[in-house]
Chain A
Amino acid sequence: VALTIFMVVTGLLSVLPVPTAAAAVPLNACSKTVGTIVAVDFAAWGGPIARGCGVHDPSGYALLHSAGFTTAGDSHDGPALICRLGDAAFDHGTQYPTPAQDACVVTPPASAYWSFWLAPAGQNIWSPSDLGPMSDVPKPGEVEMWVFGDSDTDGASTSGAPSVSPDTLRAHNASPATTTPTPRRTSAGPVTSAPSSAPASRPAAPTARGPAGGQPHSSPAPTAGTASTTGQVLSPATTRTTPRLSPAATERDPSAPATASSPSPSIVAALPDSSGGGTAGSAVPLLVGVGLVALLGSGAAVAARQRRRHGE
């Protein structure tokens, strides 16, 4: 039986189309009335708040992936329960919590899990989402936020709520920047030419994003031309530009404590997923298991036949 199932699955795998990696939506595709901003707070690991955009996504889950985040569920609840979150903008896309911190086999504890917060258009208050990320439908102008940590499980109080206000993250430009032929969140510089072929573009990304300094998290005075054109004018809370130059450096940046202690966390733009998906792994362990099952099964068959011959 196992062998049949194994062959059916392998056969299906070769027949079914392998989905292509969804092209990430640029941050400036979102505006006050178009698209939904999604942000993930990596502060629990000393990281920034990564912020991305998605337009017309069918679910909050799809929104995360359009914005460039990667997610992992747990074995018990499936992919709909977000157990890990990662983004290329923080620590090379490592998903947090790491397997050492949470094996993601059973539902994460109420003291350490990714909580899901919403702020509808025009509202500057976070409220915990009633629905899971696969049931939630992002609305235009809304901000969705993922925060890790200890949240009040009844959801009534706001303990564990995001540390930044929704308006800090919200898109403030009146209309989306749709004029750019291939708009990407790293909209300036040479990266724009090949943003989806992320492995190739990654080495270039830090330098390329230098001139676009004002764009993903703008300074209080949007002096850079790119910032004003893309219109991503954020609150004055985010003044640091250095961590963004190298996403990896953000994590254990010696200067990071200054940001961490102050109530103004750094906000960076989410980068497209560059991991390129997992591999199918080795079939050898499965074959070993199937062999053992077949061995025991034939033992049982022999015993059953002996019994029948003995009985009849």
Chain B
Amino acid sequence: MTTRPGRAPRILHPIAWWIWALGIAVAVSRTVNPTLLFLALAVLGFVVARRRTDAPWARAFKYYLGFGVFVITSRVIFHTVFGSGITPTDHILIHLPQLATPGWYSGVTIGGPVSLEGTLTAAALGLRLATLICCVGAANALANPKRALRVLPGALYELGMAIVVAISVAPQLIESVQRVTRARRLRAGGGRGGGGLRALRSVVIPVLEDALERSLLLARAMDSRGYGRSGNTPRASRRITAALMILGMVGLCMGIYGLLDRTAPRYLGFPTILVGAASCCAGLALGGRRVTRTQYRPDPWRLEEWIVAGCGVASAALMILAYGFDATGVNPSFYPLHYPPFPGVAAVGFLLGALAGVVAPPPPRASRPPAPAPPTSADARQPAPRPRVTA
């Protein structure tokens, strides 16, 4: 896409989309019920199909779907090769030749019988990871990554370039894939004939190089506009901020460990998390105070934003509720083999997530013929010259 889609005033706030997607991700991470996972995927697909823009990164979702298929396939293959043992009542699909392993290595079996139950379990676990990946993909497709950068807390300015690259490299990667494949198609001989390893090499390397280069370019451009500068803050204040942040992170890590390990002393759990969180907040506040910045035409946060974010939070909340009610319905075991249940509360949660596809305002469509739009507010932070594809 060489066209720069015209940006209407009504593009949903990127943070609203991220909250929505992360809410669904939280819900997905609590379940291995394949019916619920397929429902979550359908919800993601529905919302993305209805509400994505025409921007290059907005076409990302299908790549994430493909990656999800790859995840499921590799999980099943790993299960088949490194079988985890079968139970006497398993339905056996195939008997692979089993490699004899020495006694000290008997924790790992290679080959052996492959059961339907085990394969289904592996596929369901792969499906959960794939759905989680697609949640991130949906957020990347729906939210403008460059606008999301604007609302980062001021204290993170310290991390400048790292943050910019981390947030923008995935969408840039998608964009690069599209541009490189289009360039290959335009060139003779690049089409579908030249597949295999050669094609991979001629796509992957330019794509990686292009994406990283453009992310760095963006970071440098933001740096030149004052992003990530410490400015004229006193040294002591900077040190206190850093100390608070480190203390907070250590506190959070120790607190999580203390919460998860029941044998740990009690004071290591919740109190440590509270101290860590408080310390982090103080650090962010202190760091943010000394950075003065202005925002040109900030994204509005209106009712629709509240509803979309609320839909995601509601999915997560209802899933946690359903987990409390009926943990085995949300996480059914395939041993013994039976039809998966369909927990209603969790399903309603995901359907609430689908509501976002109706409530959110429709994205502005790129009009045809595309006018080479003058740089608008959003482009103020991104580099004007875009490197051409060299592949």
A interface, CB within 8 angstroms of B: 1-2, 5, 9, 12-13, 16-19, 21-22, 59, 61-62, 65, 71-76, 78-80, 99, 103-105, 109-111, 131-132, 134-135, 137, 153, 277-283, 285-286, 288-290, 292-293, 296-297, 299-301, 303-304, 307, 310-311
Contact = CB atoms under 8 A, between A and B. Distances in A.
Given A13-B91, A62-B88, A75-B32, A289 B38 contact: yes
13 contacts: A12-B93, A19-B91, A22-B88, A78-B118, A78-B121, A103-B327, A105-B328, A131-B107, A281-B341, A285-B35, A285-B342, A299-B50, A303-B46
A2 B131 CA distance: 14
Contacts of A104: 328, 333
B110 interface: no
Contacts of B36: 289
Contacts of A75: 32, 328, 331-333
A302 to B, nearest CB: 8
A190 to B, nearest CB: 27
B35 A135 contact: no
Q: Which 5 A-B pairs have the closest CB atoms?
A: A134-B85, A285-B342, A289-B35, A296-B42, A300-B49
B337 interface: yes
A297 B42 contact: yes
A134 B333 contact: no
A300 B141 CA distance: 15
Contacts of B39: 289, 292-293, 296
Interface in B350-391: 351, 354, 357, 365-366, 368
B339 interface: yes
Interface of B: 32, 34-36, 38-39, 41-43, 45-46, 48-50, 54, 84-85, 87-93, 106-107, 109, 116-118, 120-121, 262-263, 327-328, 330-333, 335-342, 347, 351, 354, 357, 365-366, 368
Given A134-B84, A280-B339, A285-B340, A299 B46 contact: yes
Given A135-B85, A297-B45, A278 B331 contact: no
Given A13-B91, A135-B106, A282-B339, A300 B84 contact: no
Given A289-B36, A293-B38, A79 B262 contact: no
Contacts of A132: 107
Contacts of B120: 9
A119 B92 CA distance: 32
Contacts of B366: 311
Contacts of B91: 12-13, 16-19
B335 A281 contact: no
A286 B337 contact: no
Given A72-B335, A280-B339, A311 B38 contact: no
A16 B92 contact: yes
